[in-house]
Amino acid sequence: MMHNGNSGGLNAPFPTGFLWGAATSSHQVEGGCTNSNWSAFESARDAEGRPRIAGGQVAGDACRHWYRYPEDIGLLAGLGMNAYRFSVEWSKIEPRQGAFDEAALSHYERVVDALLTAGITPMITLHHFTDPLWFSEQGGFAQPGSPEILARFARKVYERLADRVCYWCTINEPSVYAVNGYVTGEFPPAEHDLRKAGLVLGNMLHAHTRMYQACKEVNPAPQIGIATNVFVFAPYRRGHPMDIIAARLAQRNLNDEFFRYLTTGEWDFHFPFMLRTRLRSMPADAFDFIGLNYYTRFHLQFLWHDRTRVRSVHTAPPEKTTDMGWEIYPEGLGEVLEMAAGVTAKPLYVTENGIADDSDHKRAPFFLDHLRALAGARRKGIDVRGYFCWSLLDNFEWAHGFTKRFGLYHVDFATQERTLRRGSAVLRDFINACRAT
């Protein structure tokens, strides 16, 4: 299911219309997000009285992107980028159930108009991890009516912006939301319930389909997809049968079943002797593209005594590890693109790829190696049409607070000064070289 592509040098596979961009999410950069599950989570404590976020940090003003977006759009242009993926903040737009804030909707209209004026294509994410307090207090995505609630919100935003925005992501990384919120407890509501995680993930996938349908009823022209994290999973002990099974189960449940849901409308979340959750007879092919967020490869070890039975083991040397402790494995980007191209001929976008590297020693080779993998995928005929770096700015990195720095631009949070990192300059040069050929 692959399309014919160019061959030749590193720059040759990228056509004129290729989207080169960066990505952000509202809670992480905007500031003033005080009405969400995340704002409540940041001020909460765990059972031992420890703060939920590293160092007790809160997002607070973050990057003040709500006010500084004109300047930040200029930063995108300075990198030669022609696209920007950002999210709208549900808790600002619908602060109370059914009550939509006109000022917030108008704000996002101004952001879109400023992008278009600058010649930058917007890609809007409708849900990026954060929920309004009223929604989480009702049970969040564990409640049966959640897909319709999110579809109503999506339709409201889409009605305002679909005449100007051609690319939409319904939900960002539903499996991360479900696993981190209901298995590891790193995200709100900090529960440890695999069955509930399956319920939540199923409702989020259903919500994607309902969002797609509701938006297409308004205007069928824009392209609507979903952004999923795709990790590469490998056994920690190559010859150990239980480690091999653990890696295969992770691949099946977190990657393969997601793609199967999109293309067939059926989904089966199954961990033997622990959980089985299914979705049946949802509309198939309720997507126009797939967004792939790729960061790393995980080596999995099976442990009988562990509550979740499986743990990720760090195997990479320090020079091949990010500040998140993740292995730098650029070949994996090509692998996940091939994985997706094997199940659909529809367009693919790399909607996130980046590195936490405060020292800035690894950023330049990280991007160059991943761009080589991207070029290789296009040479193989894989229909990948855009690449978005995570992230434009240093920001509030969820449970890690401000301690992990993914930004192409360094942010001094005391002064809000943005400074281009040296390692990011190679990306700018690469984009400019591609656009010049």
Integer angstrom CA distances of residue 219 from 64, 93, 172, 222: 32, 21, 22, 7
- Contact between 157 and 151 (Cβ < 8 Å): no
**In whole angstroms, what is the distance from residue 357 CA to residue 20 CA?**
21
Q: Rounded to the nearest 10 degrees, what angle do helices 422-436 and 363-379 cross at?
A: 30
Pair of tokens at residue 94: 């619908």
Question: Number of helices and strands (H, E) in the chain?
Answer: 14, 15
Token reading at 427: 């990306």
Choose the catalytic residue: 42, 89, 94, 173. Answer: 173
Please state, as a whole number, how many other Cβ atoms lie within 10 Å of the Cβ of residue 273: 6
Residue with tokens 């001929």: 345
Tokens standing for 44?
């909460």
Q: Which amino acid, one-letter code, is at 413?
A: F
Q: Decide if 71 is catalytic.
A: no
Listed residue (301, 295, 274) closest to 354, CA to CA: 295
CA separation for the pair 132, 122 (Å, rounded) = 24
Q: What is the CB-side half-sphere exposure of residue 284 using CA atoms within 13 A? A: 7
For 66-166, strand residue ranges (E) read 83-87, 121-127
**Left if phi > 0, otherwise alpha if psi is -120 to 50, otherwise beta: which for 173?**
left
Integer Cα distance of 98 and 132 in angstroms: 12
Q: State the maximum Cα–Cα separation within the chain, in Å, rounded to a whole number.
A: 59
Distance between CA 340 and CA 346 in Å, rounded?
9
Is residue 255 exposed (0-12), middle (13-18) or buried (19+ Cβ within 10 Å)? Answer: buried
Q: Are 216 and 283 in contact (CB under 8 A)?
A: no
**Which residues form the catalytic set?**
173
